[in-house]
Amino acid sequence: MEAGENRFEFATAGRIAFGWDQLDVLPDLVASHGERVLVVCGSKLGRVQPCLDRLKAQGKAVACFQVRGEPSIEQVQEGVLRAREGFDWLLGFGGGSVIDAAKAIAIMARQSGEVSDHLELVGGGKPLEGPGLPLVAVPTTAGTGSEVTRNAVLTSHEHRLKVSMRHPSMLPTLALVDPALTVSCPPALAACTGLDALTQLIEPFISCKANPLTDAFCRQGIPLVVRSIRRVHAQDGDRKAFADMALASLLGGLALANAGLGAVHGIAGPFGGMFAEAPHGAVCAALLPASLEINHRVLRERYPQHPCHLRFEELAGLMLQSPDARFEDALDWVRETVEQLKIPSLSSHGMTSDALSELLGKAEQASSMKGNPVPLSTDELCSMVNMAM
């Protein structure tokens, strides 16, 4: 966790372009890309139209593939068949679900076989044979950081699981982050994605796999969320707040892709597979206060000499912008924000005590759990879920 104590590597998108109205320069950035582009987008074509217009004005031949909700294996397989119809490159325009779908479609377009052949846990687990089609990622929500990560999370309805496909070449060739594209995001969605962004900065910061580069991103990003998430939710037109959240989301993606996550995502992934209509960001937001409280308690009671105690102290200072800040005050801020932003409880998505055993069994096997700062018992994970219900 400290410099000199571990080896690490760092990988990200081939190029990152960030800034207000950055979409205007998209044609210049993709001028050397091929003529035929498949745009993977959400269900509302009106949102992606300005992007399509810019591509068409440059002479690109554009087609769309729409993703509805969080991507399933079946949806992505359909997109793969479409992408194999002679397209030169892909562009993912939308939230994290759309961009994850675009990454999976792009890599699979140049593989033999089907999507399920290459999935962890529920598929054949076959190695991907090589790079896919080039991909440009343009996020329209501030939360997931999917534009700079090397995996895609897909839903297996058959197994009631969310599973990952991952490969270094799934990193987009270009990540274009334009805060202006997030302004029309509904307040409830902005709240959930924003707290997901905060989670994806906190978990890598306290992760047992943290490194000096990811620490820098987290230290920069955490204060941005704290000062701006409530203003974005209020929809007061504050451009600086939207830019803060878009940058924080990008920084969180850079951090999690290289330092891992923790118990929040370890539970949220399986939860999304079991309750398919539950938005990922909302689940993470509901779990964040409980995860912070329980991890802090376990550190205090079982690991009094653990170096992560210093991380929690620094986290409080980052959040409250005071060297004298106490962790309990930072935790109170998180709880108050979850309440003020009206984050739904886990039970509102259908979670009941009857489902606890299945959820915890899947969560304990989740790859995200490997980044949690300390091991948590089944009872402690159970308490975390109950606190979020």
pLDDT of residue 278: 92
Give the residue range(s) of CATH 1.20.1090.10 domains in the chain: 187-388
The full DSSP string for 29-97 is HTTTS-SEEEEEE-S-HHHHHHHHHHHHHTT-EEEEEE--SSPBHHHHHHHHHHHTTT-SEEEEEESHH
CA atoms of 20 and 151, how far apart (whole Å): 27
CA atoms of 151 and 265, how far apart (whole Å): 14
Determine the straight-line distance between the first and last CA of the chain, rounded to whole angstroms.
32
Global pTM exceeds 0.85: yes
Q: Per-residue pLDDT for the chain (389 aa), expressed as one digit of tens each?
A: 444 456 788 989 999 999 999 999 999 999 999 999 999 999 899 999 999 999 999 999 999 999 988 899 999 999 999 999 999 999 999 999 999 999 999 999 999 888 988 887 676 677 888 899 999 999 999 999 999 999 999 988 888 888 888 889 999 999 999 999 999 999 999 999 999 999 999 999 999 999 999 999 999 999 999 999 999 999 878 999 999 999 999 999 999 999 999 999 999 999 999 998 899 999 999 999 999 999 999 999 999 999 999 999 999 999 999 989 999 999 999 999 999 999 999 999 999 999 999 999 999 999 999 999 999 999 999 999 999 99
* CA-based nearest residue to 221, from 181, 172, 191, 256: 256
pLDDT of residue 6: 66
pLDDT of residue 158: 86
The residue type of 360 is L
Distances (CA, A) of 22 to 26, 37, 48, 178: 7, 19, 14, 5
Domain 187-388 has CATH 1.20.1090.10: yes
- The topology under which CATH files domain 16-182 is Rossmann fold (3.40.50)
pLDDT of residue 166: 86
* CA-based nearest residue to 226, from 294, 159, 318: 318
pLDDT of residue 175: 98
pLDDT of residue 5: 56
